[in-house]
Every structure is written in C-alpha cells, then in structure tokens.
A and B are shown apart, each in its own frame.
Chain A
C-alpha cells in the first residue's frame, strides 16, 4: 500500500529501483485510506532524484518522494537540512540542478513561480510576505490574481468583464474569510495585525487561489500554544473541507506528528526517512539527526 514510504533506510540504488517501481505501478496504485477514514488519492506530485547546487554547495542531494492527492505531507529536518529549498523547488523559485518533477502525471519543465502558481500551486512564506499597507481583504484578493483575465481598459472603467470577474472573485475570497474566521479584520490594514493573525491572512491568500497543492513554509513558527492549536485546526479543516493537498514544513514535532499523513525527513540535504509519523519517529537515523550523534 505504501510503496516508497519505507525507503529511508534503503541504500541509494535500492531506492532508485523502488522509485521506478512506484512510478511503473502507478496505474494500479490508487492511494490508501487513512486511520480516520479519509481516502487518499493517487500521486499528485512526484520528485525524482532532485539535486540542487549553489555553486559548490550541494543543498539537496538526490532526493525522491511523492505527494498524493488529499494528503497532508510534512517535510521535517534540523536547521539547514534543505527543507525550504525543497519547497522552493516545488513552487518554482529554484530550478533543480538535476532530477525531474512530475505533476499531475506529466513531467514539469523548468518554470517561473507565476507559471507554477497558474498550475494550481499556492504557498505561504516562512517570513510573512504580505502587503502591510493594504487591508486584509485586498491582500486576500491578490490571491485571485491568477484567475483574473480582464484587460487593463476594462479594469480601469470597472465595467463588463472586469466587474463580473471581481464580483465572482470577491465571493470566493469572502468564503475563505468566513472559513478562516477573519471577518472582524476584513478592513484592517495588515500592518496593524498581530503576528498570529498575519499568518492566518497569508493562509487565506494562498487558499483564495483555490490551489490543488498548498505549500506551507513553517505555518506555526513563532506562535504560542493557542495560536498553534488554531492554525492546526484550520489546516485540518482546509484539507477536510476542500480536499486540498497540503505539503508543509514544520519544526514543532508534536504538530507534525498530529497533522500529517506521511513525513519526509531531511538532514544535510539528504533524505533520511519517509513514512507515516509513527514509523518515522522510531527510525534510528531520524533520532540521530534530531538528538545528535557522535560522528
């Protein structure tokens, strides 16, 4: 059922074979059912033997894993393990030096971030990247940019297509605002909001794009326990209500273990574990990476 999930402890060659097996058998592979009864679909995105180099520095070294439709997939690892780089490859900020990305069954050529966004991949950032002077509503509306097609002339006179489009987009945005319970700050400039709420607004903007794959870069960083609980509930709700596939990076192990269906563990740019949370937790390489081991 979970082919490719117990690869972490295999050697490099064996791993390659296993990945090949996984891609070969994709037709008959229609996902799995989680403990709480959610149906996880087939492979949505597959990363094959990804390597990323910055000059002489190898940030990511020959990593392969997949993200299935409807699942919450976590990437964890110590500082500098290459997690954010991995997310940046998926969202098109970086182009891998080697390796292939397969998305919805097709190989994805190197792309610009906005092209990736058009394919239905939305993300949030580790350091909040909102327009501070704009209201929450306007910020969330920017999430709909890829869905707006009216020309500049029509936009300027607010007539015809531009108007219809904005009304339709506003409706979707309002549903997201309702979903994330931020109605009371709809008209508040983002700059005046506390950190935890800004994070939520960023999630709202990503959701407004109606993504098929949502990337969250440390959604709980710097939050207190209550804010973390809120955010966890929203992530689970998003996944549950919209069936959105979520790939997240997180440091809080408790959160990761509770939220995710499968976890990829990275250390020094390499994958050292991959599988359901319980399995990863008992993986010796993972324990060594987190607790430190005498080299």
Chain B
C-alpha cells in the first residue's frame, strides 16, 4: 500500500491527474482550438471522454503495455489527447518534430520501435509511408485530418474519429482492461519519451517518468504561483520537452486551459485573441517581434513615431523598476501611466501580451536590449535554464530578481554543483530515468548519485546565488596562445544586432578568431528597401558591399565590447565573411531547435574556413542545399572576406602588475 500512496497527492500519472480534473474542474475549459474561424472548446469532462474513447480505440487496435506510440504533427488537442490516451493504455508516447524530413523520422521511429504512429495529416502520413518498409515493428497508423486520404490503402491506416468511434462502441467490452492498465500506472513508470535534438551525433531518447513530470510540474507551478485560471498558447513543437511540461505537465497539474492556434501562420493573431497569462517563447520569437515593431514604427506617421520613442525611452528607465517593486517617484509613475494608456497598453494588446503574468524565455541567450524592451513595457519576462534531461527546469529567475545576464537561481528541488572544469552539474526529482537503449550515454551523463552533467560551463555569482552560463563546455577551448576561447559568448553579442541572424565563431587552437555571419533578411531587406538598394536574391543582398560595411561596423563594435572582458579579450574577430545562404536545419547545419552545429558547419564550409585564415580577399564556393521536400540543389557564390579592426589588448600579466 505504500506504493499506492506514493505520488503527489496520491496522483501517480497524467491519466490520474486527468481523472481528478474531470471531477474537480468538470465544466471548465481544458482545451481550445481555433477551427473554421471560431474557438472551439472542450471542458475537462469532455476531454476525459475524448481521451478515454481514443484509449479504448487503441486497445481495440491491439496496443500492448510498453508499446511506443509515435505522435507527429502540429499542436492540436487531438494529438495531445492521443499522447495521454497512449499513457492510459499503458503505452509510451513519443512525440516527433513535425518538420523533420523522412530520413530523420526513420531513425527515431526505428530506434523506439514504434508499433503505432499517429500522424496529423496527409503530409506526415506520406513521410511515414515513404520509410515504412524499413520500420519493422510498425503496424498501424492513425491520421487526424482525413483530407486527401480517401484513396490510400486503409488496411493499416485509420481515421482518428473512426478509432474513437470504435473505442466507444467497444466500451463495455474493453473498459475493464483500460481501468486495469490506467490504475496500474506507477510513479516510476515511463510517462513520455522525448528525443533530444542533438547538436552532435544521433538523437537520444530521453525517458521521463511520471515522477519526473509531476514533481517538476508541481514545484515549478508553486514557484510561479500558477492557478487553474491560466491561459497558455501551445505553439512550440510538441516534441520539445518544454511543450510537454507546459501543455501537459503543468496544465494537468493545475487544470488550466491549453489553446491551440488555427495554423502556424495565424499564430500571432491567435496569440492576440487568447492573450495568454503564462507564456513561453525562445529568444528568436521575441527578437523577430521586436524587429517587426521597429520596422513598422519606421513606417508610421511622424507624430506616432515621436510618441512611441518618447514614451519608450521613459519606459526603459522606469518600467523595470516598477516591475521589480523598486521606489519610483510619483511624477515618473504618472508619466508611465500616461505612456501605458497611450503606447504600452495598445502595443501589448497588439502583441497579445496584455495579460501575461509570467513570461519565460530560454534555449539561447537573449539580447539585453530585447529583454529590457519587453520588461520596460511591464511584461514580466524572465529567463530559465533547462534541459530535456532535467524535465526542463534547472534554474529560473524569481520575480523581482530578473537580469539579462544570469539564468536565475536553482529551481525548487534542484541542487547545483560546479565541477572543477567549470561544467555545471545538477540533481533533482526531474532528472531523467535513462537514454532509451543507450546505457553508455546514460552512464556518461548521469552518475550513480544522480548528478547530471549539463555540458555547459558556468559559475554561480557569490553575491546573488544566480547561475551564469558562459558557453557549451565542449565548445570552450583555448587559443594558440592559451587565452580562453568561448565562441557562444561572442556569437550572442553579434546576434543581438537585428541585422545578424546567426553567427559562427572559429578560433579553437588557432592564433586568432574568425566568423561566419548570416544576415537577417527581414531587417536587412527593409534597410535595402529604404535605401533604394535593389537585390534579386538573398545571396545578392548578403554580398552587397554596403551590407558588408554595416556588418563590419557591428563586428568592430562587438570587438570593442569583447575587449572589455579581460578573460575573453582574445576572442575578438579578426576576419569574417557573410554566408551566401541561411544556415538551415534541413541541411543539418542547425538542430531542429535551431542551435548551431559547429563541427558540421566547419566541415561543410572547410574551404571558406581555410580562406578566413590564409589571407585571401575572396573565395569561390559551391554549396549543396536541401529543399523542404528533400530535393537537393547547388548554389555557387564568390564571397568577399573582410578584415575587422580589433582593439589591442595588453597582455594580462602586465595589466595585473
């Protein structure tokens, strides 16, 4: 019986949380999805019925306990239900990235040995059909959107609604078995399996138990005082751990409502209509939004523009103070209130941030200007630091202790240790069970006492207890003269310029640093339009001498700023080039979560890298590109290589004397 009473409040699985919510919050909305232009909603009681019907349908198709059920598609209630239904039937849901090409899917589907695949639409079904001959354990596929599916061979293909209908019809017969499996779910049984995107090597299947998910959801909800009244917008990939924690873990723990957008393109409109109270976005989303606001303000009338800049400058001074509860003079407050009425309020409304009580960003460093902009408007934007292996949370920033350069204090229940090498280790109830069928990697990441290596180098600020991350531990290296080399630190500084989308800095083991740079087509394109600069393609714009001049100025400014930091002053960029194509996940240059794959890029563009170091002024290159449908093409370009000014730095020893 000790086993039975285990679990937070005796609730040992997500289906158990669902059952509680169906009683406690019966009539309150659990899911909303915009379809046919209207927000359709399902209460917790209805959700329970839908999920149960699908779980019965899965039993009817022969799902066995421990089976892996792959789920592929964009955020839709039906797919969230499918994941919970799989758990209810004793199986393990494995969400996949929907934009993955067939080959990438094949590896994951083979590795987990999925017997059942739930695909959102024809596009996903086609991808699976393309590779199904190599999937030996695959048996049944279920699709949600029947459009275009009529002519398919339906022997192993089922309509989602039909599976549910069959489940309902067989209820009397199968409900006993379903209850047995549902009640048999233990706290340490697998809740979900998520594949890490993998900046190096093949993706690994991270096994997370019910304990991991529920304990994490519970403590993180307490940290931010989440209530059943929260509204979230589910728009980030379902295969990403964050979405699983926010849209299932925390949503089921607290009983709040998950809203699914109509399509990826309507996300911004839907965001505005829902106005979430709890919001998460990677820095890129905030960056893009800010760039768009600034571009649109440039096009606005003179009075509006003046008003905007006047009140924005005021907000930058006063806004963060008010948010942090620091003393602010009455006059300042009045001016801020006027600004709220005239500028900030309408702007937040347009962005869909009117009701945001807690907002998080994570995944990459966010530019201080961007971060401050949102906080100045009165949006409680905070940073967190997390990993799939930790069920997201390692550190997060408490309200009133928000700074752009730290990632916050350890989350409740998390212990942090900094190894001698500078690598950050953590231990928590959220720590993953294992990498699926990969004991070596598991042992290499998690030690016997449960400490997990993050792979990031960082340190804890003594005064505040906040963690600061410097870089990926394996990326941190030494330059030829022994100076510290931390590429991400410099790359982030570069990326804070709206014109620069992506940067890759090289220099490990070399005498000086160089960089590849990607321009941001939105920002640079707008600038080109404004200055009557004609261009026919991305490539042409990227190679335009005036664009190169601008980028060079940015690089030189970054050099000046890097030189200030005595530990990292060796990382100034001596030479750079602007790449002729955007780095892309389809070409394997970025991960699906858009992190730079440094080694692959260095290998692929070896000729460019050589040119950066051999002093040549330009280089001709040919690059293979992969289109979204998997076809390949080649682009040719001659790239100019620029020298950037560096700030001379006195040797450290001399300075110390």
Contacts and interface: CB of A to CB of B under 8 A. Distances in A.
A108 interface: no
B36 A174 contact: yes
A254 interface: no
B37 A186 contact: yes
Most chain-B CB neighbours within 10 Å: which of A37, A171, A184, A240?
A184
Contact of A184 (B36, B150, B265): B265
Most chain-A CB neighbours within 10 Å: which of B35, B36, B148, B263?
B36
B531 interface: no
A175 B37 CA distance: 9
A181 B74 CA distance: 15
Contacts of A237: 147-148
Nearest to A177: B37
B147 A241 contact: yes
B150 A240 contact: yes
B147 A184 contact: no
A174 B147 contact: no
Interface in A192-206: none
Nearest to B37: A174
Contact of B36 (A37, A175, A187, A240): A175
Contacts, number: 33
Contacts of A37: 151
Contacts of B38: 174
Contacts of A171: 36
A184 B263 contact: yes
A288 interface: no
B200 interface: no
A241 B147 CA distance: 7
A241 B36 CA distance: 17
B225 to A, nearest CB: 35
A256 to B, nearest CB: 22
Interface string B14-54: 00000000000000000000011110000000000000000
Nearest to B264: A184
B233 to A, nearest CB: 15
B269 interface: yes
A3 B35 CA distance: 45
B148 A181 contact: no
Contacts of A178: 35-36
Given A175-B36, A177-B37, A178-B36, A183 B262 contact: yes
A171 to B, nearest CB: 7
A179 B35 CA distance: 11
Contacts of B262: 183
B37 A183 contact: yes
Nearest to A187: B269
Contacts of A183: 37, 262-263, 265-266
A195 to B, nearest CB: 18
Contacts of B263: 181, 183-184
A184 B271 CA distance: 13
Given A171-B36, A178-B35, A184 B266 contact: yes
Given A174-B37, A175-B36, A186-B37, A240 B265 contact: no
Nearest to B122: A237
Interface string A229-248: 00000000100110000000
Interface string B452-485: 0000000000000000000000000000000000
B145 to A, nearest CB: 10
B501 to A, nearest CB: 23
Interface string A280-294: 000000000000000
A281 to B, nearest CB: 25
Contacts of B265: 183-184
Interface of A: 36-37, 170-171, 174-175, 177-179, 181, 183-184, 186-187, 237, 240-241
7 shortest A-B CB distances, which residue pairs? A184-B265, A174-B36, A184-B266, A174-B37, A183-B262, A183-B266, A183-B263
Given A178-B35, A237-B148, 17 more contacts: A36-B151, A37-B151, A170-B37, A174-B36, A175-B36, A177-B36, A177-B37, A178-B36, A181-B263, A183-B262, A183-B263, A183-B265, A184-B263, A187-B269, A237-B147, A240-B148, A241-B148
13 contacts: A36-B151, A37-B151, A175-B36, A177-B36, A181-B263, A183-B263, A183-B266, A184-B263, A184-B265, A184-B269, A186-B37, A240-B151, A241-B150
